[in-house]
Amino acid sequence: MGEPVRQLSRERVLRAAVAIADADGLGALTMRSLAAALHAKPMSLYHYIRNKDELLDALVDGVFAEIDLPEVGGDWRAEVRRRCLSARAVLARHPWALALVETRTSPGPATLRHHDSMLGVLRGGGFSLPMTAHAYAIIDAYVFGFVLQEASLPFDGGDSATEVADSIMERFAAGDYPHLVEFATRHVRQPGYHFGGQFTFGLDLILDALANAS
Amino acid sequence: MGEPVRQLSRERVLRAAVAIADADGLGALTMRSLAAALHAKPMSLYHYIRNKDELLDALVDGVFAEIDLPEVGGDWRAEVRRRCLSARAVLARHPWALALVETRTSPGPATLRHHDSMLGVLRGGGFSLPMTAHAYAIIDAYVFGFVLQEASLPFDGGDSATEVADSIMERFAAGDYPHLVEFATRHVRQPGYHFGGQFTFGLDLILDALANAS
DNA sequence: AAGTAAGTCGTACTTAGTACGAAGACTTGG
DNA sequence: CCAAGTCTTCGTACTAAGTACGACTTACTT
């Protein structure tokens, strides 16, 4: 029964915060719940974090740090593709991240490094400055937007899509939303349907288009 | 001085909620501030709205209602393009909307109608069911993702980009983020730079790619 | 041993959502 | 025209959350 509950530290606080958010969502991450998870009292946290806002900024930067950096100088298409798959995986692992990114506007070091690498590979791939801007905007709009859509799907991501589709379908009269009904019954309800599987299709379509446009 | 402060109504409550969110952000929209704006007391609102969650759901559906519906049967490319420009305009007008869409998962009637029309034009344009799914996913990922990026830019949208870029640049040593520095100084800081202008470029690139892929 | 700095926390104030039920206003059958 | 509802509105109060303030506790220094 010795107390392995050693001293607090910024590191431990951040780790615990991520764990809570991963497990129960951003809403469950309060200064009180965070303190409880660390067997401490709320006010103790303020020695490692100025306020909750700063905590959230730190979480966002931590998420960017998890994303694979593209290798500057490598084949731009391959590197960007790898990075995008990684980004999607990371954002899926931390479903709360996207909501945060939207709000926070002061990028941390990992975030800046990340952008720097992306700009680097694109420039290295022969894109002009304006074209780099276009490409990066399109790519990230797609990646973030796709994850955003997944997040706002009424179902979790598995194949419970079927049930949800059914329950929604029931709610409206026969002819109300004909195309939605067709889509739900003849596509979504098919075995093997999985929204997330469309990610690479779109990504490759966009990368191809960018390769041609450059 | 007569009292034009007529009866409350769900309509009036929703309108006032949108006004508050537009003006001061989602954070400023509380049951208390909303009541105050209507010259009423907080608890009066609960006669028109079950709880705040339902209020937010209603706001989201209202936003979808504002987006131009594509005309089913028309030229899919033109109709989808128009709808996307409208969607972006609406989301720009209500910067809080995107954050909400992310959370709410029970679509309202306007939302369903919207999706129905989009699926309709795509199907009418000759897309197969799987291809329709791909196309819609890509298009909305792009539109929502682009708006999301705009929202998380550290600057408001005007050309204050320059100042922000400067202030960030100052923060790091010479060689820390070379590509970011090049990008900021040689592109962002140029006169006439405006992130939002890239929207149509990417949209057309994606629509072209979809047209070819179909 | 005493001083000092670092870390921890008790207390309390503020803002938010909303349950409960009373009080006023308006409607309607007699 | 009145009594009995019914519809709106709101007063009060409880709970959850962020965090300011300052005290207490410990560990390390000299």
* Under 8 Å between Cβ of B144 and A148: yes
Q: What is the mean pLDDT of residues A152-170?
A: 69
Half-sphere exposure at residue A74, Cβ-oriented, CA atoms within 13 angstroms:
13
Q: What is the mean pLDDT of residues A90-117?
A: 92
| Interface probe, candidates B72, B123, B148, B194, chain A, greatest A C-beta count within 10 A | B148
Higher confidence at residue A106 or residue A73?
A73
Cβ B30 to strand C below 7 Å? yes
pLDDT of the residue at B173:
66
Max distance between CA atoms of chain A, in angstroms, equals 68
Question: CATH number for the A60-153+201-213 domain, one of 3.30.390.50, 1.20.1440.120, 3.90.1170.50, 1.10.357.10?
Answer: 1.10.357.10
Q: What is the mean pLDDT of residues A94-123?
A: 92
Residues of A in contact with B137 (CB under 8 A): 146, 149, 195, 198, 202
Cβ A43 to strand D below 7 Å? yes
For chain B, what percent of residues have pLDDT higher than 90? 72
Instruction: Output the DSSP codes for A11-35.
Output: HHHHHHHHHHHHHH-GGG--HHHHH
pLDDT of the residue at B157:
55
* Architecture (CATH level 2) of domain B67-158+194-213: Orthogonal Bundle (1.10)
| Interface probe, candidates B128, B147, B177, chain A, greatest A C-beta count within 10 A | B177
Query: In this model, does residue B5 exceed pLDDT 60?
Result: no
pLDDT of the residue at A166:
72
Higher confidence at residue A15 or residue B166?
A15
**Closest by Cα among A68, A61, A208 to A135:** A208
Q: Which two tokens stand for residue B121?
A: 């034009």
Query: In this model, does residue A158 exceed pLDDT 80?
Result: no
For domain A10-49, give the CATH number: 1.10.10.60
List the single range of A72-86, A136-150, A164-178 with lowest mean pLDDT: A164-178
Euclidean distance between CA atoms B61 and B137, whole angstroms: 19
pLDDT band at A103; cut points 50, 70, 90: confident
Euclidean distance between CA atoms A200 and B210, whole angstroms: 14
Average pLDDT of chain A is: 90
pLDDT of the residue at B83:
98
Radius of gyration of chain B (CA): 21
List the single range of A76-85, A128-137, A160-169, B49-58 with lowest mean pLDDT: A160-169
Taking the Cβ of residue B28 and every Cβ of chain A, the question of whether any pair is shorter than 8 Å is answered with no
pLDDT band at B156; cut points 50, 70, 90: low
Q: Which two tokens stand for residue A136?
A: 């990066």
Distance from the A8 Cα atom to the nearest Cα atom in chain B, whole angstroms: 29
Q: Is B30 helix (H, G, I), strand (E, B) or coil?
A: coil
Euclidean distance between CA atoms A75 and B113, whole angstroms: 43
Tell me whether 0.85 is exceeded by the ipTM: yes
Distance from the A140 Cα atom to the nearest Cα atom in chain B, whole angstroms: 7
**Closest by Cα among B168, B142, B122 to A206:** B142
Half-sphere exposure at residue A93, Cβ-oriented, CA atoms within 13 angstroms:
13
Q: A9-18 pLDDT, tens per residue?
A: 899 999 999 9
Asked if A177 lies within 8 A of B213 by C-beta distance, the reply is no
Q: What is the mean pLDDT of residues B110-133?
A: 96
Query: In this model, does residue A170 exceed pLDDT 80?
Result: no
Euclidean distance between CA atoms B205 and B214, whole angstroms: 14
Q: What is the mean pLDDT of residues A118-135?
A: 97
Euclidean distance between CA atoms B109 and B71, whole angstroms: 18
Task: Give me the helices (H) in chain B, please.
Answer: 10-24, 31-37, 52-66, 76-93, 97-103, 109-124, 129-152, 161-171, 178-183, 198-213
Euclidean distance between CA atoms A105 and B196, whole angstroms: 17
Residue B39: exposure state from Cβ atoms within 10 A (0-12, 13-18, ≥19) = exposed
Q: What is the mean pLDDT of residues A16-36?
A: 94
List the single range of A131-135, B107-111, B168-172 with lowest mean pLDDT: B168-172
pLDDT band at A2; cut points 50, 70, 90: very low
Q: What is the mean pLDDT of residues B109-132?
A: 96
Query: In this model, does residue A1 exceed pLDDT 70?
Result: no
Query: In this model, does residue A168 exceed pLDDT 90?
Result: no
Long-range (24+ apart) CB contacts under 8 A made by B2-8 are B5/B38, B5/B39, B8/B38, B8/B40, B8/B44, B8/B45, B8/B47, B8/B48
Specify which of B59-73, B94-108, B169-183 reaches the highest per-range mean pLDDT. B59-73
Q: Where are the domains of chain B?
A: 10-49, 67-158+194-213
